[in-house]
Structure 1
Amino acid sequence: MRVLIAVTHLLGAGHLTRAAALARASAAAGHETVLVSGGAPAPLVRLDGVRLIQLPPLHVRGTEFGRLLDAQGREAEPGTLALRRAMLLDALAETAPDAVVTELFPFGRRALAAEFLALAEAASARRPRLLLLASIRDVLVAPEKPGRVRETHERIARLYDAVLVHGDPGLVPLAASWPVDDPLREKLRYTGYVDEGAAVTAGGSRAGILVSAGSSAAGLGLLRAAAEAARLRPDLGWTILAGHGIPESDLLAMGRGLGAGVLARARPDYRALLARAALSVSQCGYNTAVDLLATGTPALLVPFEAGRETEQRLRAERLAERGLAQVLPEAGLDAAGLLRGVTAALAEPRPGPHGLDLDGAARTVAFIEDLARRPERASRGRPALDRLRATLYAAGARGIRVPMWWRDDDAVAATPALDRLLGLAEAHAVPLLLAAIPARIAPSLTERLHRARGVSVAVHGLAHSDHALPGEKPAEFGPHRPLPALLADATEALRLARARLSAEALLPVFVPPWNRLAPDLEAALPGLGYAGLSAADGPPVPGLFRADAQLDPIDWRGSRSLDDPEHLIDRLTRLIERSPMRPIGLLTHHLAHDAALWAFLAEWLPVLFGHPAVTVCDPRHLFRAAPVDVGAGAGPVSAPGRHARAS
């Protein structure tokens, strides 16, 4: 495809940084990608493989977003604005994209509405109609006037195919900062957080305090307080990084009396420094929060709150609620207060795993690809999908977040069907538990899984052999066999799986063939080394993390092809009503799929795992959740998060 992304950052470089990360991911996926930037050039923003079109840059001072300034600091003239609009439309005509993404607009950038609307209207007028998407961060600042909210919703309904929300509703849903009505809710696609930073090596000792305050001058107060605190307590080992928007005169004044290397400009190896720091002191902009989540660094957050800015405060408070940070108010901040906050934060335990989705760039590209492929983009699709969306929406309207996960059975070797399955899982960014038959695992399966992303492997019986008596339902580990034989086979199954699969991929989770398991063996599994159990539907087992796969789309007793989708929706509805917090598993069998079943997956995966009312559970977290009280009548629940997974 050809993709055009339009962004204008007016204060810091966060909007450009995120848009550039999406553009790089799009280019890396093989799409010709153009980024049109209307803000000031940012030296640390990478554009690998992306074509940049730079409009005459604009910026603002402080929080006066309605007063646009040109590169010379003068109020932007009408001619400058007209030139930007013409260049934006020229970029659309020249690029001839398949998809257009507007960053923040129409939820923000009202001062630039003329040029963004011109782009959106032109894209909608093309024939065939272009895919038009809005790209927004996790937290917005809603306008005070209700009419402006209605105006935004009208523009979304009239022009846009979807709204890509680059966040995890398990941390903060869009509705926490912006009014979400029914039509908007239908168009929301939560991508997870866009992690644009470099990978960091885990482990090693941490030392020192790293202070940062974004790229603009908005963090000057925090930097000054940190510089004074460093003069008072140099023994804490400070590194203070000032953004390129901080004037040189201010930098020199702050640096007086500080040791060599304590105060410096922002650096491209910031994330590596963060991964080695004992404590991060920073504001709580989007990219800063992602850096903290990616590195697991203890944090003291001083959210920017000038003017009507509430974005950083909300994000910081949600991180603090999960034990991932401490919060210090910006108002009245001085060196003494900062040192008190630092001392308290250093005494807190290190943050634990957060389970939040940081794979937002790849998932954004998958959403764009999926939406662009749909010939019915302007409509809502087939009746069954309409009912599925309505079912999930009804759950969300009652405050229910439906936990969903995916298991596929009978893996033995690398096959075209397995490639197709893994391709779907990666395209839709859905974690997958692959139940492999230990005695039949071929080397090709092990090799293929080395190249797979987001795939865990469970123990699917021993050899998938039917030991049932004549006339009984097939079972390998049913109650008709002696318990010692069952124990021996289950022990051998785990041994073989550990010998043939990597420790990173294998989960000690038992998946009985045909989903049938003797109760005596259930109780004995923890003693054999198993930590989890997954079957079709059953009660909790003491000592095991249980999550079942209850939605099987195959009509096994009839056509052995796709079952009636209405039956699946009925089943889903009953499961939600019976135990809304219990994870619901989709069960597939890639070796048994025909064209109808593959088409079903392609159509249903974006809804089952992309709907705002759904929490996507990663098996790696699902089977490490705290076991539920057996008397509670529900299975384990995944860690909170839009995608409860390690990213």
Structure 2
Amino acid sequence: MQRLMFYCQHILGMGHLVRSMEIVRALTKDFQICFINGGEIIKGFDIPAGVEVINLPAIKTDSEFQELQVVDNAFSLDQVKEIRKNLLLEIFEQIQPDILIIELFPFGRRRFSFELIPLLERVKSTRNSTKVVSSLRDIVVTKQHKQAKHEEKVCNLINEYFDVLLVHGDPKFVPLEETFSRVSNLNCEISYTGYVVQKPPVNPILTDEDREILHSDKPMILTSVGGGRFGHELLDCVVKTAPILEKVIPHHIQVFTGPFMPEEKFYELQSMAENSKNICIRRYTPYFLNYMKKAELSINMSGYNTTMNVLTTGVRAMLIPFTGNQDREQTIRAEKLSDLGIVKLLTTNDLQPDLFAKKIIDYLQEQPNQISFDFTGAENTAKILRQLAIKQKVA
């Protein structure tokens, strides 16, 4: 069986980890996989059977992406960088992978060049015995006034080290050229895989609390903000809006804050909601898709994975983009879907309880449009990598 090493670094949310693990899930039949996780460990996160996971000393960032921070303060950032760099090289030497997949880099995560460039140099020294693949979501974060310099660096790195670029999107919806103008200057093989989507667990072992809510006849509104390090304004507004909605509609409001929400903020939200009988606040569930399939309305940030969940379940959805660090990725996605009549776009100006309650009540009466993109991204990725492995074996 061919050996595959998959590097993923999530630093703020958990979307990159979720998407990467769905890809890995589709690869387990064909590859012996070592998954390198550079971000914070998520308790209860589902790992496919047979996948070896190595957790590097975790690094995260602040909500504005201004600085890297260590999760375990036992070591300084410089010490962690050195430990991680050496560990990656050791893992590579031990595994000798046929394929190395690096998620997002070099279109993003260039602050992790301290460990990725030495790794790529080591791969290069093996004289093409390992094929290198970049795994990229549909929309690239633009750098605005630094865009030309950014794109030049990306082109140089791709052309120096990478054999294949996989774009996990549908070009009919967002072609890569829309957010990266120099696609024609990339010398590697480029393939659109379609969107990578999650599938609900088969025969889930539900807790009593999950079972009571998911099997209830009571209508539900679902709210989430991904990992939980941002989006707090949305959750504040939902909690403050709950008493207004309690008087008007019969819905249960289920909130998932995300595993990375600070303890003090989580308890603050629970305290704010203690007098509302129509709302429940929890951190995380592995059965999020089951909740979304049941919900009459889902209110979320417009990250890649959550948006795919909305599209594949067909739930009525209100989406608010993350705009920190002048990042337009989520805004582009949400605006396009709103223009197609598929979701309702929210802005921070809508986060006023009375106004927000009216928008929710009104939208529950609307029927959004449906659309079909290519949602076979994980399966297509597996097919492309199988073919790459065959070529590598023949060579």
Change (3 A) 1:295 1:205: farther
1:50 Cα deviation from its structure 2 partner: 0.8
- Which residue pairs with 2:258 in the alignment? 243
What is the distance in 2 between the residues matched to 1:71 and 1:41? 10
Answer yes or no: is the 8 Å Cα contact 1:300–1:326 preserved in 2: yes
- Which residue pairs with 1:26 in the alignment? 27
- Which secondary structure state, in structure 2, belongs to the residue aligned with residue 216 of structure 1? coil
**CA deviation digits over 1:49-100, x for unaligned, max 9?**
2101111100011122x41111146994322101101111111111110000
**CA deviation digits over 1:584-634, x for unaligned, max 9?**
xxxxxxxxxxxxxxxxxxxxxxxxxxxxxxxxxxxxxxxxxxxxxxxxxxx
Change (3 A) 1:136 1:44: farther
What is the distance in 2 between the residues matched to 1:96 and 1:14? 28
What is the distance in 2 between the residues matched to 1:241 and 1:56? 27
- Which secondary structure state, in structure 2, belongs to the residue aligned with residue 257 of structure 1? coil
What is the distance in 1 between the residues matched to 2:76 and 2:190? 34
Answer yes or no: is the 8 Å Cα contact 1:124–1:132 preserved in 2: no
Change (3 A) 1:351 1:246: same
Aligned-partner residue type, residue 284 of structure 2? A
- Which residue pairs with 2:241 in the alignment? 229
**CA deviation digits over 1:23-53, x for unaligned, max 9?**
22211x2310010111100124322121011
What is the distance in 2 between the residues matched to 1:171 and 1:140? 14
- Which residue pairs with 1:85 in the alignment? 85
Aligned-partner residue type, residue 192 of structure 2? Y
**Structure 1 counterpart of 2:340, from 322, 326, 333:** 322
1:253 Cα deviation from its structure 2 partner: 2.2
- Which secondary structure state, in structure 1, belongs to the residue aligned with residue 386 of structure 2? helix
Change (3 A) 1:99 1:51: same
What is the distance in 2 between the residues matched to 1:186 and 1:340? 50
Aligned-partner residue type, residue 34 of structure 1? C
Change (3 A) 1:229 1:156: same
1:341 Cα deviation from its structure 2 partner: 2.6
- Which residue pairs with 2:208 in the alignment? none
**Structure 2 counterpart of 1:366, from 353, 370, 383:** 383
- Which secondary structure state, in structure 2, belongs to the residue aligned with residue 135 of structure 1? strand
Change (3 A) 1:90 1:162: same
- Which residue pairs with 2:211 in the alignment? none
**CA deviation digits over 1:148-173, x for unaligned, max 9?**
21011111112111111111112212
What is the distance in 2 between the residues matched to 1:209 and 1:126? 53
1:313 Cα deviation from its structure 2 partner: 0.7
**Structure 2 counterpart of 1:167, from 166, 169, 183:** 169
- Which residue pairs with 2:189 in the alignment? 187
TM alignment of 1:248-647, pairs within 5 A:
248-255=263-270, 256-259=274-277, 262-331=280-349, 333-352=351-370, 354-374=371-391
What is the distance in 1 between the residues matched to 2:202 and 2:343? 20
Change (3 A) 1:262 1:315: same
Aligned-partner residue type, residue 132 of structure 2? L
- Which residue pairs with 1:55 in the alignment? 56
Answer yes or no: is the 8 Å Cα contact 1:67–1:75 preserved in 2: no
2:20 matches 1:5: no
Change (3 A) 1:185 1:372: same
What is the distance in 2 between the residues matched to 1:329 and 1:62? 18
- Which secondary structure state, in structure 1, belongs to the residue aligned with residue 219 of structure 2? coil
1:199 Cα deviation from its structure 2 partner: 6.1
1:241 Cα deviation from its structure 2 partner: 1.5
Higher relative contact order (CA 8 A, sep 6+): 2
1:293 Cα deviation from its structure 2 partner: 1.3
What is the distance in 1 between the residues matched to 2:173 and 2:243? 36
What is the distance in 2 between the residues matched to 1:376 and 1:142? 37
What is the distance in 1 between the residues matched to 2:260 and 2:336? 28
- Which secondary structure state, in structure 1, belongs to the residue aligned with residue 61 of structure 2? coil
**CA deviation digits over 1:486-506, x for unaligned, max 9?**
xxxxxxxxxxxxxxxxxxxxx
What is the distance in 1 between the residues matched to 2:306 and 2:393? 38
After TM superposition, the structure 1 stretch with the greater mean CA deviation from structure 2, 4-13 or 322-331, is 322-331
1:375 Cα deviation from its structure 2 partner: 5.5
What is the distance in 1 between the residues matched to 2:119 and 2:301? 33
Answer yes or no: is the 8 Å Cα contact 1:206–1:278 preserved in 2: no
Q: TM-score, normalised by structure 2?
A: 0.88
1:376 Cα deviation from its structure 2 partner: 11
Change (3 A) 1:51 1:200: closer
**CA deviation digits over 1:308-334, x for unaligned, max 9?**
121111111122222221101135622
2:158 matches 1:143: no
Gaps of 5+ in 1: 379-647
What is the distance in 1 between the residues matched to 2:69 and 2:218? 42
Change (3 A) 1:74 1:173: farther
What is the distance in 2 between the residues matched to 1:287 and 1:259? 30
Q: TM-score, normalised by structure 1?
A: 0.55
How many aligned residue pairs are there? 373
- Superposed CA RMSD in Å reads 2.4
Change (3 A) 1:358 1:248: same
What is the distance in 2 between the residues matched to 1:212 and 1:68? 25
Answer yes or no: is the 8 Å Cα contact 1:68–1:75 preserved in 2: no
Answer yes or no: is the 8 Å Cα contact 1:296–1:351 preserved in 2: no
**CA deviation digits over 1:557-594, x for unaligned, max 9?**
xxxxxxxxxxxxxxxxxxxxxxxxxxxxxxxxxxxxxx
What is the distance in 2 between the residues matched to 1:331 and 1:99? 47
- Which residue pairs with 2:231 in the alignment? 219
Aligned-partner residue type, residue 218 of structure 1? F
Change (3 A) 1:6 1:339: same
- Which residue pairs with 2:209 in the alignment? none
What is the distance in 2 between the residues matched to 1:14 and 1:76? 26
Answer yes or no: is the 8 Å Cα contact 1:58–1:76 preserved in 2: no
- Which secondary structure state, in structure 2, belongs to the residue aligned with residue 127 of structure 1? coil
Report the identity percentage. Answer: 28
- Which residue pairs with 1:644 in the alignment? none
Aligned-partner residue type, residue 337 of structure 1? L
- Which secondary structure state, in structure 2, belongs to the residue aligned with residue 32 of structure 1? strand
What is the distance in 2 between the residues matched to 1:13 and 1:281? 18
1:101 Cα deviation from its structure 2 partner: 0.5
Larger of the two Rg values belongs to structure: 1
Answer yes or no: is the 8 Å Cα contact 1:225–1:334 preserved in 2: yes
**CA deviation digits over 1:528-581, x for unaligned, max 9?**
xxxxxxxxxxxxxxxxxxxxxxxxxxxxxxxxxxxxxxxxxxxxxxxxxxxxxx
Change (3 A) 1:373 1:200: closer
- Which residue pairs with 1:210 in the alignment? 222
Could you list the runs of 4 or more consecutive aligned residues of structure 1 that deviate by over 3 angstroms after TM superposition? 72-76, 375-378
